């Protein structure tokens, strides 16, 4: 490991960056250096610009991926290398705001009917049943299951924040069955099959999720994060207050949670149009302006 990489990792650790963020930043910086076959210390803002164009036009990466690269090199140059540049020197592509495609309840059930392996099924059910991110689900410790209070406790979740989310009776029953069958050892609820001191990888669960989706024949794409979207949307459709959903998902801003109101057909369908108020019939007589029946 080079001294620069070690220093960057230490700088991220001092700021309590998530492990996944650290890995991602190191990956993007390493690929950046490899592209020019030079140390990042020898590169400048023009190199960053040229590499962004390469990622856009040749690699055809998404705006989200390119923005992650920008965040990585911005941290490297402004924090670790302490270059006299500004955040404005690292332009970012505009990210299109697309609404998530949400599974109906029957589609979620159909998907789970095709998931193989009780452990991966348990992880994916936790994503849907408690609204967890895949990284939060695979890193759930055994001690995080509070069956007395019917809660899951997440430690150092996204943003280095602890939070509680719901533990449904159905999910608890399935987790207990899973525990009796596999008897997982070590601190993790979902340990790695190769080393019980490590948890199962998100990639292993995502592969099974993709294969189960293909077996199910569903037209809508299914991913672990899509199950989290379904959790939030279905809660909203059942009348759960949006601020409760915000707390369960761990969103720091309510407008992040509010987008689920745009993808919930039930919520949209229940909303009264102002047009209906114009011709709302009065008791015993036709409302003024209402077209007469023919």
pLDDT tens figures, 175-206? 999 999 998 888 999 999 888 889 999 999 99
Instruction: Give the pLDDT confidence of 230-254 residue by residue, as tens digits.
Output: 999 899 888 888 888 898 888 888 8
Active site residue 199: no
pLDDT band at 171 (very low <50, low <70, confident <90, very high): very high
Instruction: Give the pLDDT confidence of 100-155 residue by residue, as tens digits.
Output: 788 999 999 999 999 999 999 999 999 999 999 999 999 999 999 999 999 999 88
Active site residue 77: no
Cα–Cα distance measured from residue 23 to residue 190, given in angstroms and rounded to the nearest whole number = 21
User: Which pLDDT belongs to residue 109?
Assistant: 95
Assess contact for 172 and 147: CB atoms under 8 A. yes
Of 7, 210, 225, 259, which residue is the catalytic one? 225
The structural architecture, per CATH, of the domain 3-89 is Orthogonal Bundle (1.10)
Active site residue 133: yes
Assess contact for 5 and 26: CB atoms under 8 A. yes
Active site residue 54: no
Active site residue 164: no
8-12, 46-50, 255-259: segment of lowest average pLDDT = 255-259
Of 133, 199, 229, 234, which residue is the catalytic one? 133
What CATH topology corresponds to 105-269? hpI Integrase; Chain A (1.10.443)
pTM above 0.75, yes or no: no
Of 35, 114, 153, 158, which residue is the catalytic one? 158
Active site residue 120: no
Please report, for the chain, the start and end positions of each structural domain, with discontinuous segments joined by +: 3-89, 105-269
């Amino acid at each position: 490991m080079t001294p620069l990489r070690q220093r960057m990792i230490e700088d991220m650790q001092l700021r309590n960056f998530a492990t996944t963020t650290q890995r991602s930043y190191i990956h993007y910086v390493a690929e950046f250096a490899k592209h020019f076959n030079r140390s990042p210390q020898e590169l400048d803002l023009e190199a960053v610009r040229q590499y962004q164009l390469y990622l856009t036009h040749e690699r055809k990466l998404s705006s989200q991926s390119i923005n992650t690269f920008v965040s990585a090199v911005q941290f490297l140059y402004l924090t670790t290398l302490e270059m006299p540049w500004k955040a404005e020197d690292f332009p970012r592509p505009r990210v299109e705001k697309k609404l998530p495609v949400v599974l109906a309840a029957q589609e979620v059930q159909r998907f789970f009917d095709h998931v193989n392996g009780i452990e991966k099924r348990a992880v994916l059910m936790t994503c849907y049943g408690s609204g967890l991110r895949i990284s939060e689900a695979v890193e759930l410790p055994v001690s995080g299951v509070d069956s007395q209070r019917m809660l899951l406790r997440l430690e150092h979740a996204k943003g280095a924040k602890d939070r509680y989310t719901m533990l449904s009776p159905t999910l608890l029953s399935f987790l207990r069955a899973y525990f009796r069958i596999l008897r997982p050892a070590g601190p993790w609820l979902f340990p790695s099959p190769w080393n019980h001191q490590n948890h199962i990888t998100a990639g292993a669960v995502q592969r099974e999720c993709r294969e189960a989706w293909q077996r199910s024949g569903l037209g809508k794409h299914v991913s672990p994060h899509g199950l989290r979207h379904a959790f939030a949307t279905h809660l909203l459709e059942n009348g759960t207050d949006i601020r409760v959903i915000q707390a369960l998902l761990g969103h720091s801003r309510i407008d992040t949670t509010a987008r689920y109101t745009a993808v919930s057909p039930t919520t949209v369908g229940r909303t009264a149009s102002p047009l209906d108020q114009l011709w709302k019939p009065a008791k015993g007589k036709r409302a003024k302006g209402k077209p007469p029946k023919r």
